[in-house]
Amino acid sequence: MPNSPTLTTNQHSRVLIAVGGGIAAYKVCEVVSTLFKTGAEVRVILTDSAQKFITPLTLATLSRYKAYTDDDFWQSTHSRPLHIELGEWADLLVIAPLTANTLAKLAHGMADNLLTNTVLASTCPVLLAPAMNTDMWEQLTVQRNWHQLLLDSRYHGMSTVSGLLACDRVGAGRMAEPAEIVAYTQSLLHTQGTRDLAGQQVLISAGGTREYLDPVRFIGNPSTGKMGLALAQAALHRGANVTLVHGVANWDIPLGVQAIPVISAEEMQQVMWEYLPHADVIVMSAAVADVKPKDYSPEKLPKRSLPQTLPLEPVPDIVAQLAQHKQPHQLLIGFAAQTGDIVTPAMEKLQRKQLDVIVANPIDQPNSGFGSENNQAIFLDSQGRQVKISPCSKLQMAHHLFDFIAK
């Protein structure tokens, strides 16, 4: 299932969305609607080609504001040039879908319509979500324009998705899904386009592990991995190379993230151990089981054969092992899901396991913890700092954590 966009609060944020001419333009309706629901002010520009696929009225209705076209650009009804006003107004500019034609214009600094003039008249970050036929996307000239444009730090590019295209071709070229565009938008509004993790290798564990008694029964926990997913998105959007080691998940892997699925704590331990030497930042957000059944049956046990008492044995303490072998330049972050007093046990875990930072989050508070779209926490580090984070979306929480370690 697609990643559901979390309704991060974006009051006073101003997002300008420019729609290019392609069938993927219909997806922009969800982006505009979702951002408006978060409290962002949204304005929309449509190219002439975009109006062949979607109407200004549709986007004006969703944004609660007039949608601009080239007809507005060439009319002198504004006290100041429209592209100047829009360029100065925007905190973030999103171009979706980005067509090969608009890409070529931007790569060469051309400006012949409202969209391209507004880009050149602005200084805010620009998020690009390309969409086109596979052969078009893979053309040498298109790829050259794409990579040339991304050399400018203003521009943040989203990968295309492989799948069935409107032309019935199966391959790369589909635009990123609305939920991913919304998440990236929210990240850029938080960071203002800063790539403070550029070049860093970030290793993240997520979700719960399962320790099986037989093929159908296991010891587990309610973790969904949503916090780890948000951490992966935030790190990726801040420029990191991200490896996500995750348990069973019902969400899509973010574009650009290397994902490695695992089931048990032992499997997670092996993968984390393999990738540890290459990591700069390690975030153990997974809810790893503490124990597992001592005996495993390869065949399903009849109900009558289930043991009255279940012999258990401990599983590897992954975060403690990582702490023992990490290098001085590496940063290790742990999580402590707690009820009641969350600070005391988290502080004890921080010290006992020799972590650099720990995130103490309550799982007995409404709309927080396992399975929730939101979270709240107290960050503690080995230098004695404590920062309380009020309830917010998990993506916001992830950004707050990376802000904390940056200091």
Segment 250-281, tens digit of pLDDT: 888 998 999 999 999 999 999 999 999 999 99
For 34, 44, 190, 199, 255, the CA distances from 193, given in Å and listed in that order, are 21, 20, 8, 15, 18
Tokens 């499997």, located at residue = 267
Cα gap 155→239, rounded to integer Å: 12
pLDDT at 255: 87
Tokens 């916090």, located at residue = 227
Cα gap 238→232, rounded to integer Å: 10
Mean pLDDT of 119-148: 96
Q: How confident is the model at residue 218 (pLDDT cuts 50, 70, 90)?
A: very high
Cα gap 70→327, rounded to integer Å: 56
To the nearest whole percent, how much of the chain has pLDDT over 90? 84
User: What beta strand segments (E) does 237-385 contain?
Assistant: 241-246, 258-261, 281-284, 291-293, 312-314, 331-338, 357-362, 374-381
Please give the structure tokens belonging to residue 48: 């002439």
* pLDDT of residue 248 exceeding 80: yes
Mean pLDDT of 89-112: 97
pLDDT at 76: 64
* pLDDT of residue 11 exceeding 90: no
pLDDT at 9: 55
Please give the structure tokens belonging to residue 355: 């972590």
pLDDT at 74: 82
Same fold for the pair 14-191 and 201-406: yes
Cα 68–Cα 182–Cα 199 angle in degrees, nearest 5: 115
Tokens 């200004």, located at residue = 56
Helix axes 178-191, 28-37, angle to 10 degrees: 50
19, 45 contact by CB (below 8 A):
yes
Can you give the C-alpha Rg of the chain in angstroms? 24
DSSP state of 26: G
Q: How confident is the model at residue 10 (pLDDT cuts 50, 70, 90)?
A: low
pLDDT at 78: 63
Strands 41-46 and 126-130: unpaired
Helix axes 178-191, 226-237, angle to 10 degrees: 60
Could you confirm whether domain 201-406 is CATH 3.40.50.10300?
A: yes
Please give the structure tokens belonging to residue 195: 């790539």
Q: For residue range 47-93, list pLDDT tens digits in order.
A: 999 999 999 999 999 999 999 999 998 876 667 899 999 999 999 99
DSSP string, 287-324: B--SEEESS--SSPPPGGGS-SS--EEEPP-HHHHHHH
pLDDT at 2: 40
Q: For residue range 300-339, list pLDDT tens digits in order.
A: 999 999 988 999 999 989 999 999 999 999 999 999 998 9
The larger pLDDT score, comparing residue 365 to residue 199, is at 199
Pick from 204, 279, 199: nearest CA to 239: 199
Averaged pLDDT of the chain: 93
Is the whole model's pTM more than 0.85, yes or no? Answer: yes
* pLDDT of residue 1 exceeding 50: no
Q: How confident is the model at residue 368 (pLDDT cuts 50, 70, 90)?
A: confident
Q: Does an H or E element contain 6, and which? A: none
Q: For residue range 157-173, list pLDDT tens digits in order.
A: 999 987 777 777 777 77
- The gap from C-alpha 20 to its chain's centroid, in whole angstroms, comes to 24
Which residues are tagged catalytic?
167
Q: How confident is the model at residue 290 (pLDDT cuts 50, 70, 90)?
A: very high
The larger pLDDT score, comparing residue 373 to residue 116, is at 116
The full 3-state SS of 70-120, as one line of letters, equals HHHHCCCCCCCCHHHHHHHHCCEEEEEEECHHHHHHHHCCCCCCHHHHHHH
State which amino acid sits at residue 406. A
pLDDT at 167: 74
Cα gap 26→89, rounded to integer Å: 25
pLDDT at 140: 97
Cα gap 24→147, rounded to integer Å: 22
pLDDT at 247: 95
Q: Where are the domains of the chain?
A: 14-191, 201-406
Question: 357 by DSSP, 3-state: which?
Answer: strand
Question: 257 by DSSP, 3-state: which?
Answer: coil
**β partners of residue 170:** 164
Cα gap 110→103, rounded to integer Å: 10
Q: Which residues have CB under 8 Å from 330's CB, separation 6+?
A: 276, 279, 280, 281, 282
Q: Which CATH superfamily is domain 14-191 in?
A: Flavin prenyltransferase-like (3.40.50.1950)
Cα gap 106→109, rounded to integer Å: 5
